[in-house]
Structure 1
């Protein structure tokens, strides 16, 4: 049973770039059946966050705080530079008051994605740094997300429940993260290994369910927007590429960044917690605003696969042709 659970989790991570877009398609096709279960999303997502936090302890957070410049640069790229570009891109193409612009902005503002830890590890980046930064960013999300959304769109363009958003972020994200970190400390770091054969496979399945249910929630509205997708899809892909490039080139602000930190910055800037973004988009904003976030999940993982291949090629060339 133990080996089966770990094997499934490993298989899922290997084929995430296919399974998640596939889950999105299934959710769209079975929207009539799945719509009744949309209310389960916050609980499913809370469990996913808890499992993520089981691998992070206070020492990880403390270690990251010893590198304040690297942390601040990561957060600046992800939550200052990227939102400005997203808002500017959306405003130029759709207009500042467009729901699509709000969706692009939300995509750039939501916390860093936990899946970035997997890609950072497989591409030779710093796992302790990305794990701690993701946890820190997640904990800060009840402050960061509402504040940035209000800064860019205010209440003039769209009516949304900021207090409700904060409450949901606290219950879905911060509380499970705190519990996970405490369990890590109580178990002296062994809880992740103990629970992995069961907790990891369930987390992967819940991730797929979150994607399916969110897709089911917006499917009836998205069916009327087929022509608009011809414009929205290229814009979303452009934003994702820009976010990855922000991390790669932004790492040079550290002055001669090490190869592992360059990898880490690239994924930290490029990958977002899309499942959380989908929950927030469908709960607090219009179906149109949800579309860029949903599309983001289709292209973020394939983009990560391309980045992984490029870093692998770079490392291979460095071995063959050392300076």
Structure 2
């Protein structure tokens, strides 16, 4: 089982598109199962959060300057830049919302795995994921309101806050608490890792089935959307690394905070898009999920060359 788990980690870049393709091909029988997505995501968040510790969250205060810079860029600066870029690109309104929603998501927990793989400071990465997740019910609705103004009413804002609390904050907090009572090694950890991956693959497949019906309506804009999202994700890495390099921090912290600014919880965005927005909003988020790991691999190659320590 441990060998299977390692292979699933190694080949996730190939596995995710296959599940997305399966969702598109089986969209008719799977369409009615889309209600499962939110519960699968809550399970995914809970299982993924069981490795977090409150000590890691407190550790962020030992290096407040780069941590604050990354949080400000990730939750304010970068979404703002993305908003202005979208004004220059001709896209369907729902696709615009999808791109912006994806870039407003909290830091993704998979950043921890990439930081560990690249030899960065894992504790700093855990701290950033924890804090970003805990702040997301306030920051994400607020940013969306600033971006879209009257298009998002008070009722929608309240519903989005409640959704983030239910889908992200509560499962994350429950996972941190449960993590103190279960072993961090052995069979349980392996089972939790496999279950979280299965949840992710099912979420991607079910959402692909849910949006299949509107793909034909926006087909001519798919390539433009994919190029835009790819450029935006890479720009996030470059922007974060440039600022962190200027701060003169250690190599381990440089790796940790760069990934923290580049890896997002796009799965949360996918679930929110399905629950609270028109179907087309989910399309850019799904593209972001597909591009996230290839872009993280490019960052890994950059750091391996920069520090002359290939780790793959």
Please give the range of the TM-score, normalised by the shorter of the 2 chains: over 0.9
Structure-2 residue corresponding to 1:113? 108
Structure-2 residue corresponding to 1:151? 146
Structure-2 residue corresponding to 1:21? 17
* 1:195-234 mapped onto 2 (5 Å cutoff): 195-234=188-227
Q: TM-score, normalised by structure 2?
A: 0.93
Structure 1 residue 174 displacement after superposition: 1.0
Consecutive aligned runs of 4 or more in structure 1 exceeding 4 Å deviation: 157-160, 191-194
Structure-1 residue corresponding to 2:128? 133
Structure-2 residue corresponding to 1:321? none
Structure-1 residue corresponding to 2:280? 288
Structure 1 residue 60 displacement after superposition: 1.0
Q: Do residues 275 (structure 1) and 267 (structure 2) align?
A: yes
* 1:1-323 mapped onto 2 (5 Å cutoff): 4=1, 6-94=2-90, 98-156=93-151, 161-187=156-182, 190-191=183-184, 193=186, 195-253=188-246, 255-316=247-308
Structure 1 residue 230 displacement after superposition: 2.9
- Paired with 2:275 and 2:195, the residues of 1 have a C-alpha distance of 24
Structure 1 residue 9 displacement after superposition: 2.0
- Paired with 1:193 and 1:248, the residues of 2 have a C-alpha distance of 36
Question: Unaligned regions of 5+ residues in structure 1, if any?
Answer: 319-323
Whether the 8 Å contact between 2:105 and 2:264 is mirrored in structure 1 is: yes
Whether the 8 Å contact between 2:67 and 2:257 is mirrored in structure 1 is: no
Deviations 1:21-74 (A, max 9, x none): 222222112111211111011111111111111111111111113322222111
- Paired with 1:89 and 1:193, the residues of 2 have a C-alpha distance of 47
Whether the 8 Å contact between 2:145 and 2:152 is mirrored in structure 1 is: no
Structure 1 residue 168 displacement after superposition: 1.6
Question: Unaligned regions of 5+ residues in structure 2, if any?
Answer: none
Structure 1 residue 101 displacement after superposition: 2.0
How many pairs are equivalent? 310
Structure 1 residue 299 displacement after superposition: 1.1
Deviations 1:172-220 (A, max 9, x none): 2111111111123345xx3465621211111111110011111111111
Structure 1 residue 279 displacement after superposition: 0.7
